Chain A
Amino acid sequence: MFTHLIVGATFNIGDALFYAVLFIILMWIVKLVAWKPITQLMQNRADKISSDIDSAETARNNAAALEKKRQAALQQSQAEASDIITQAQQSGDNRRAEIISTAQADAQTLKANAQKDIQQQQQDALVNSKNNVADLSIEIASKIIQKNLTAADQKALIDSYIEGLGSHESK
């Protein structure tokens, strides 16, 4: 019935069936060999690209945040460093002033001590000389005038003399 339907060609149903089967088998093998792996790969690539874009975005944001943080830390450390320097300078100044003042005080006390010592020595020397002069004058007087004076009288005499000497000296 269908023979010579189209431009005189014989309608071979066998050929149609053969091509249908051939096409389906070809489609199946192409699916196994290439279609599945290539579509899987292309899907993976698309996923990877989108995830890469996302991760690049986050990485950039992280880097910016880190940069900001570092800048802040740098500024803080600079401020701290200048603080430390000023503190050190201040303490150095303080220490210097302290050392100078203690040295001055020491020198003052040393000077005062020395003056005191000198006065003491003067005093001692005066007392010693007073005693020596008394003894010496007693001996001299006893030898010269051959007259025994009591030591007490002699001392009173010498005292009056020394007093006169001191008043003479203070004048």
Chain B
Amino acid sequence: MEATRTFQFLGLTFNVGNMISGVIVAAIVLGLVFICSRHLQMKPSGKQNLLEAMVDFTNGIVKSTLPSGSTRSYGLWAFTLFYFILISNLLGLFLHIEIGGVVYVKSPTADPIVAMSFALMSLLLAQYSSVKKLGYKGHFATYMQPISFLLPVNLMEELTNFLTLGIRVYGNIFAGELLAGLIAKLAFSGGILTFAVSVPLELAWQGFSVFIGCIQAYVFVTLSCVYVSQKLSIEE
């Protein structure tokens, strides 16, 4: 593992690199959305079209998975989640700052903690939606469905949902960054020949990583919506 710079606050351990990367991602998302949402007009033009396309895209995910009329309640969440994870996946591809062996800026989702945090938030939202719809009693009763001895299986399902959701995005992005780093090391290892070979290789891998990053963000948001809709579609 790479060395990290951590500090303790209120008994909790914070990773400085993760915090800086997260703030950068949030700033990029916010800046993009802020710039695109200036001077909104009835007849859209230029950047407003971009923002509307972005909104329509995530609304489309929500509409295709959640029951109709839920874009009002879940649209903003899906929108923010998708673009946060998208930028998180892509950040490490063009920005990787390492000072004295300590990484300060990279893809936040290449860190398992961050990926699992987002997975946990999605699962918590699903639980919250279920509680909101059925009440606590009805919610916990769903773990006994269809028969009470399936309770361990249902609990296991929740855990695997959480693990797969988080590890999927983490694994893809982490592997992408790792391989990109290895190709970069290869480039400077053996003179001009390896450099000439690894430049197009790195280029291709970067392009593929962009594709993977987009796909993983899409998959993450879609699966989150599916987990929420599973909880919402349970009948009493």
Nearest CB of chain A from residue B225's CB, rounded to whole Å: 16
Does A166 make an interface contact (CB < 8 A)? no
Establish whether residues B117 and A10, one from each chain, have CB atoms under 8 Å apart when the complex forms. Answer: no
| Given known A15-B114, A19-B108, A26-B80, contact A37–B40 (CB-CB < 8 A) | yes
Establish whether residues B12 and A27, one from each chain, have CB atoms under 8 Å apart when the complex forms. Answer: no
Does B220 make an interface contact (CB < 8 A)? no
List, in ascending order, chain B residues with CB within 8 A of A42's CB.
Answer: 52, 55
- B77, closest chain A residue (CB): A27
Establish whether residues A38 and B76, one from each chain, have CB atoms under 8 Å apart when the complex forms. Answer: no
List, in ascending order, chain B residues with CB within 8 A of A41's CB.
Answer: 40, 42
| Given known A37-B37, A42-B52, contact A15–B117 (CB-CB < 8 A) | yes
Does B13 make an interface contact (CB < 8 A)? yes
The segment from B19-27, B150-158, B181-189, B226-234 that touches chain A is: B19-27
Measured as residues with beta carbon below 8 angstroms from the partner, the interface class of chain B is 35 or more
Nearest CB of chain A from residue B39's CB, rounded to whole Å: 10
| Given known A19-B22, A39-B75, contact A34–B36 (CB-CB < 8 A) | yes
List, in ascending order, chain B residues with CB within 8 A of A17's CB.
Answer: 12
| Given known A26-B30, A30-B30, A38-B51, contact A15–B18 (CB-CB < 8 A) | yes
Does B9 make an interface contact (CB < 8 A)? yes
Nearest CB of chain B from residue A120's CB, rounded to whole Å: 105
Does B167 make an interface contact (CB < 8 A)? yes
Establish whether residues A16 and B117, one from each chain, have CB atoms under 8 Å apart when the complex forms. Answer: yes
| Given known A10-B13, A38-B51, contact A33–B34 (CB-CB < 8 A) | yes
* Contact partner, B37, options A9, A26, A38, Cβ 8 Å: A38
Establish whether residues A16 and B29, one from each chain, have CB atoms under 8 Å apart when the complex forms. Answer: no
Query: How far is B78's CA from A25's CA once the two chains are assembled, in angstroms?
Result: 15
Query: How far is B42's CA from A44's CA once the two chains are assembled, in angstroms?
Result: 8
Does A69 make an interface contact (CB < 8 A)? no
Establish whether residues B80 and A27, one from each chain, have CB atoms under 8 Å apart when the complex forms. Answer: yes
Top 3 closest pairs, chain A to chain B, by CB? A14-B12, A34-B37, A14-B14
A sample of 22 cross-chain residue pairs with beta-carbon separation below 8 angstroms, ordered by A number, consists of: A6-B116, A7-B112, A12-B6, A12-B18, A14-B9, A15-B14, A15-B19, A18-B22, A23-B118, A26-B30, A26-B80, A26-B84, A27-B80, A30-B30, A30-B33, A33-B30, A33-B34, A34-B36, A35-B75, A37-B37, A38-B55, A39-B55
